A = this chain, B = another copy of it.
Amino acid sequence: MKQAILAYVETVTTEGGPGFVPVESRIAVFDNDGTLWSEQPIVMLMFVAERAKEMAKADPKIAADPAVQALLGGKLGELDGPERERTLMRLLAITATGMPPGEFADSVGRFLAAARHPKLGVPYRQTVYQPMLELLAFLRENGFKTWMCTGGGVDWVRVMSESYYGIPPKQVIGSTGAYEVTLVDGKLAILKKAELTHINDKEGKVAGILAQIGRIPIIAAGNERSGGDIAMLTYAQSSPFPSFQLMVDHDDAEREFAYAEKDGASLEAAQRNGWHVVSIKADWLKVYPGP
């Protein structure tokens, strides 16, 4: 795997070579959950659950929301695919609505500083993947811009993207909610609204890349679990330049987690299209960076 990446990057950075890619087109997009850090559990969901439970106690209207009901009834684990994404995004909207973006970011920051992974017992910051940190740094050294393209809420992920991965807020593409912006008597007020404006999953990831980057990435990395990254990797492969696709297979129950996609669509697409499959068990010497 490492050799394949090194060879590819040499190809696209060799000036005068047949596969040379100008620096403005060296764009790499990474899914977050399950690709850059562990997704058992999905961390944003832990945040949302904690906040929503607090809010449901204080407000019966919030407690009655179907998404909150699913959470309180322990039904979230049963949901899958788009319904899971929608419920999760609805919960995120509930926990952020009516809040200025800065206040929301602060609440995420406080959560991340205090919370511990329920199984591993470490701060979530230590559940990022060491080989991916190395890959991100290596790509940046070679003129790539590294982007995140996640189903998570963009305002949530931007709180940690730069300090955890070196990916600045402007290079984060995620699911979005509307903002209420008002300018009255020269005073500007900004509040997050409950309305979802974009779900950045599956084909939505391609739309998100179109909206924010406006160019086709040449590297795309995702993981198997829900088929959420197939469209994004297919899109990168449509580049006129040489491209590289990477699909993480979670097959290491001992050091990380082992799980498989119900219909196996991601690994099947990888095989059909010649994408590189990363076996955590076989390919990663070290999974987490450690404290």
Nearest B-chain residue to A179, judged by Cβ: B207
Q: Are B212 and A212 in contact (CB under 8 A)?
A: yes
Nearest B-chain residue to A227, judged by Cβ: B183
Tell me, in angstroms, the Cα distance from A186 to B245 when the chains sit together: 14
- A282 touches B (CB below 8 Å): no
Instruction: Identify the interface centre among A154, A211, A215: most chain B CB within 10 Å of its CB.
Output: A211
Q: Are B231 and A170 in contact (CB under 8 A)?
A: no
Tell me, in angstroms, the Cα distance from A182 to B101 when the chains sit together: 32
Also in contact, A210 and B231, with CB within 8 A (given A197-B197, A203-B182): no
Instruction: Mark each residue of chain A from 152 to 170: 1 if its CB lies under 8 Å from any CB of chain B, else 0.
Output: 0011001000000000111
Q: Which of A185-200 contact B (CB under 8 A)?
A: 186, 188, 190, 197-198
Q: Are B154 and A188 in contact (CB under 8 A)?
A: no
Query: A99 → chain B, closest Cβ, in Å?
Result: 13
Instruction: Mark each residue of chain A from 193 to 230: 1 if its CB lies under 8 Å from any CB of chain B, else 0.
Output: 00001100011101100111111000000000000001
Tell me, in angstroms, the Cα distance from A47 to B269 when the chains sit together: 41
Q: Which residues of B contact A215 (CB under 8 A)?
A: 169-170
- A178 touches B (CB below 8 Å): yes
Q: Which residues of B contact A202 (CB under 8 A)?
A: 183
Also in contact, A210 and B234, with CB within 8 A (given A182-B203, A203-B182, A215-B170): no
- A238 touches B (CB below 8 Å): yes
Q: Are B183 and A213 in contact (CB under 8 A)?
A: no
Q: Are A178 and B207 in contact (CB under 8 A)?
A: yes
Q: Which residues of A contact B (CB under 8 A)?
A: 24, 101, 145, 154-155, 158, 168-170, 172, 176, 178-179, 181-183, 186, 188, 190, 197-198, 202-204, 206-207, 210-215, 230-231, 234-235, 238, 269, 272-273
15 A–B contacts from the bound complex (CB under 8 Å)? A145-B170, A154-B211, A155-B214, A158-B214, A170-B215, A178-B207, A179-B207, A179-B210, A181-B206, A182-B203, A186-B234, A186-B272, A186-B273, A190-B206, A212-B212
